[in-house]
Amino acid sequence: MWGFEAACLLAAAGLLLIHGARLAGASALFHWWTPLVVVAALLLADMASGIVHWGADTWGSERMPVLGRRFLKPFRIHHLNPDDILRRGFVDLNGDVALLSLPLLMGGLLIPLAGAAGELATVFCVSLGACGLPTNQIHQWAHRGDAPRWVRWLQQRGLILSREGHALHHAAPYTTHYCITTGWCNPALKAIRFFPTLEGWISRLTGLVPRSEEADPAERQVPPRKRSSAAAAGRLKAR
Q: What is the pTM of this model?
A: 0.86
CA–CA gap between residue 38 and residue 74 (Å, rounded): 30
Residue 99, domain extent? 2-238
Question: What's the angle, vertex CA 9, arms to CA 4 and CA 11, rounded to 5?
Answer: 90
Mean pLDDT of 132-160: 96
20-24, 74-78, 118-122, 232-236: least confident range:
232-236
Instruction: Say if residue 216's pLDDT is above 70.
Output: no
55-69, 97-111, 149-163: least confident range:
55-69
Residue type, 18: I
Instruction: Say if residue 214's pLDDT is above 60.
Output: yes
Do residues 96 and 134 lie in contact, with contact meaning Cβ atoms separated by under 8 Å?
A: no
Percent of the chain with pLDDT over 70: 90
For 141, other C-beta atoms within 10 Å of its C-beta total 23
Q: Which residue has the higher pLDDT, 115 or 128?
A: 128
Name the CA dihedral angle for 129, 80, 71, 106, rounded to a multiple of 10 degrees. Answer: 10
Confidence grade of residue 105 (pLDDT, cut at 50, 70, 90): very high
The count of structural domains within the chain is 1
Confidence grade of residue 215 (pLDDT, cut at 50, 70, 90): low
pLDDT, residue 231, reads: 46
The DSSP secondary structure of the chain, one letter per residue, reads: -HHHHHHHHHHHHHHHHHHHHHHHHTTTT-STTHHHHHHHHHHHHHHHHHHHHHHHHHSS-TTSTTHIIIIIHHHHHHHHSGGGGGG--HHHHHHHHHHHHHHHHHHHTTS--SSHHHHHHHHHHHHHHHHHTTHHHHHHHTT-TT--HHHHHHHHTTSS--HHHHHTTTSTT--S----SS-TTHHHHHHTTHHHHHHHHHHHHH---TTHHHH-TTT---PPPPPPHHHHHHHHHH-
For 149, other C-beta atoms within 10 Å of its C-beta total 6
- For 211, left (φ over 0), alpha (ψ -120 to 50), or beta? left
Do residues 155 and 141 lie in contact, with contact meaning Cβ atoms separated by under 8 Å?
A: yes
- For 56, left (φ over 0), alpha (ψ -120 to 50), or beta? alpha
Q: Which residue has the higher pLDDT, 187 or 220?
A: 187
pLDDT, residue 239, reads: 38
23-37, 39-53, 117-131, 224-238: least confident range:
224-238
